[in-house]
Structure 1
Amino acid sequence: MTRIYVVAGEASGDVLGARLIAAMRAQAGNIEVAGIGGARMAEQGVASLFPMQELALMGLAEVLPKIVRLRRRLDQAVADIEARRPDIVVTIDSPGFTLRLLRRIAPLGLRRVQYVAPQVWAWRQGRVRHFPGLWDRLLCLLPFEPDFFAPHGLNPVFVGHPVLESGAGAGDAARFRARFDLAETARPLILMPGSRRTETSRLMPVFGATVERLHARFPGLVPVLAAAPALAGELQAEAAGWSRPPLIVTDIADRYDAFAAAAAALTKSGTSTLELALAGVPMAVTYRVNPISAFLVRRLVKVKHAAMINLLAADALVPELLQETCTPDRLAAEIGSLLGNPALAAAQRAGFATALATLAAPGASAPSEAAAARVLELL
């Protein structure tokens, strides 16, 4: 039996891993899968070596206090892979952990695949010189990435972006309104503060104050908080003091139904911008990290935009309010413009379609199918 070891370090990687496993089984028959993942990979039969949430950290200031525990988890993963001797190891995103893991297991002589390219094209481009020898194949989600990595002999392959098979654009607005007993005049506002505690702890207070300001202008506004299941209880408690506590959605189907009903969205930067764009939801993008992390990033960043949809469009298609501009007044002004100006919202939607067209997998394959084929080729 073919044995594959899959490592995901956060919620988005867990989704990618689950789809990849399902696609590999469809193409290769029965395979044995072990590794590290969350609820979605568990549905595919993967009993995680340890809780995936322990790896979901971002930023120097957030990682340093956990460095000893992370080293223990890295040692544990290396030992498990050495004991199992899988045919292929697939690491998904989370480069702070996965690239160290790939380096540690290199002496074992196993085939290795990194799924989701490290975003060194965005900042600290010199790090690319450390990558040769880490993997046999690099699966890229963005169409411009192979041109960056190929000159360094890193075997990049564009497989398309998995957001296109997420179902984010296939939600049912009427079903969402019926489920939560919303009037037709209600205007849902999607709030996406992230899937990490380090993200939500910084953004939730700002989101709450932003909603307070918007209610004065738009009394029919209904905040809808899209929460990672593991954080739903904490976020609900944090939002309990809002004058209009948000509806909480954790299920993917409910989230996409909410997208279909939404008037606008306020989201952290990342893949969520692509999901919202696929659903045609006009948005503003924000983010806030530890000031030390922000200082370091700003000295090293090489791209003009933080939002993925803006990078694809090569333009400021959606407003980005980062760090010191991540304030309730600024966010309320941008969301208010989208709610009050249909032409502005329509312009965003038109730009979304053009940008998303660049993410299609080569040929007629779904992204997960293209990725699975590239992994199985190594057998």
Structure 2
Amino acid sequence: MKLYIVTGEKSGDLQASILVEKLHVVNNNIKIRAFGGEHLKKTGVEISSEINRTSVMGLTNVLMQINTIRKKINFCKTDILKFNPNAIILVDYPAFNLRIARFAKEHGIQVFYYIAPKVWAWNKSRLNKIKKYIDSLLVIFPFEVDFFKKHNIDAIYVGNPLISHINKFKSNKLYISKKNIIAVLPGSRKQEISKILPIMLSVSSSFKKYQFVIAGISDFGNDFYESFINCDNIKIRYDSTYSLLSE
């Protein structure tokens, strides 16, 4: 069996790597190729293209990078056809992946979606696309099964990767501080981080007894994160979100 996985951004790459580890336990003979990143690469998956520059948010940023995004989508489509998979698994990132879903469906490829678009919270207009292009959703919240069922969409609860995988990292503690730690998770998109991290860190001076630790992404560099730090009880740990949460 041949599977093609599409992530689109760093967080999806991490979640997909956990999924691949589970798939290999069930069937080690599955051939997998992915539009992904370093986490998937570590599982032994063949990577077609790195995803570092794919993820953007906000209309202005999308318009500025529209040609890059189009090239990524077209590359992904071409690579899927060359690989000729039995099925594709799309991971999160609906702005990118719903376009790939439509393409795959038009070419007779079975489509699964892992970590479904949060249409129960916003942008319910995507329900029609999900119903039309997705064969089955692999959801991480139990209530999503009933939500999608009401809209005649097949959904299977597969557990939350954060909860099911966190124990693996408890033996790999970072030992950051003797203080109680407050983990700061500002996201995996640079524009998103720039908007919300200053707000998240604004409370740090009111909690001096705690150690704030930012879950950073090394691709963005130390200077980027340091520019938001306004208090001496804030540290940064890169590419170690699960280890940080196990502290």
Aligned to 1:25, the other structure's residue is in SS state helix
Alpha carbons 1:149, 1:155 under 8 Å: kept:
yes
Q: 1:169 to 1:130 in 2, by over 3 A?
A: same
Q: Which has the larger radius of gyration?
A: 1
Give the conservation status (yes or no) of the 8 Å contact 1:129–1:152: no
Q: Which residue of 1 aligns with 2:219?
A: 230
Query: CA–CA distance in 2 between the matches of 1:194 and 1:124?
Result: 20
Cα distance between partner residues in 2 of 1:228 and 1:36: 19
Contact 1:239 1:246 (8 Å CA) reproduced: no
| Amino acid across the alignment from 2:197 | M
2:91 equivalent to 1:92 = yes
Deviation at 1:120, TM superposition (A): 1.6
Percentage of pairs with the same residue: 25
How much has 1:32 moved relative to structure 2? 1.4
What secondary structure is seen at the aligned counterpart in 2 of 1:190?
strand
Deviation at 1:20, TM superposition (A): 1.6
> 1:127 and 1:239 mapped to 2: Cα distance?
34
Q: Give the Å deviation of 1:82.
A: 0.7
What's the secondary structure of 2:153's corresponding residue?
A: coil
Q: Rate the CA distance shift 1:151–1:64 in 2: closer, same or farther, 3 A.
A: same
TM-fit CA distance, 1:253: 5.6
Which residue of structure 1 aligns with residue 237 of structure 2?
249
Q: CA deviation at 1:47?
A: 4.0
For 1:120, the equivalent position in structure 2 comes to 119
Q: Give, in angstroms, the shift of residue 4 of structure 1.
A: 0.8
Partner secondary structure for residue 138 of structure 1: strand
| Equivalence map 1:79-158=2 (5 Å) | 79-158=78-157
Residues 95-125 of structure 1 show CA distances to partners (whole Å, capped at 9, x for unaligned) of 1011101102222211111112222222232
Contact kept in structure 1, 2:210 and 2:233, CA below 8 Å: no
Output the TM-score relative to the length of structure 1: 0.58
CA RMSD of aligned residues (A): 2.7
Q: 1:226–1:249: 8 Å Cα contact kept in structure 2?
A: yes
One-letter amino acid matched to 1:248: I
CA distances 1:51-76 after superposition (whole Å, capped 9, x unpaired): 21223223334322222211111111
Aligned residue in 1 for 2:206: 214
Q: 1:47 to 1:239 in 2, by over 3 A?
A: farther
Larger RCO: Structure 1 or Structure 2 (Cα < 8 Å, ≥ 6 residues apart)?
A: 1
- Structure 1's 238 and 150: CA in aligned 2 closer, same or farther, altered over 3 A? same
1:232 and 1:210, CA in 2 relative to 1: closer, same or farther beyond 3 A?
farther
Which structure 2 residues correspond to residues 40-51 of structure 1 after superposition, within 5 A?
40-51=39-50
Question: Could you tell me how far 1:6 is from its partner in structure 2?
Answer: 0.6
Determine the C-alpha separation between the residues in 1 that align with 2:32 and 2:87: 10
Q: Which runs of 5+ in 1 are unaligned?
A: 261-379
Q: Greater share of strand residues, 1 or 2?
A: 2
Quick check: 1:37–1:46 contact (8 Å CA) kept in 2? no
Report the number of matched residues. Answer: 246
CA apart distance, 1:94:
0.6
Q: Secondary structure at the match of 1:131?
A: helix
Instruction: Read off the aligned partner of 1:164 and give its amino acid letter.
Output: I
SS at 1:160 equivalent: coil
CA distance in 1, matches of 2:55, 2:100: 15
Q: Is the 8 A contact 1:195 1:231 kept in 2?
A: no
In 2, Cα distance between equivalents of 1:252 and 1:192: 8
Amino acid corresponding to residue 27 of structure 1 in structure 2 = V
Q: Which residue of 1 aligns with 2:35?
A: 36
Offset of residue 239 of structure 1: 4.5
Look up the equivalent residue of 2:25 and give its one-letter code. A
Pick closer, same or farther for the CA change 1:102–1:254 going to 2, 3 Å.
closer
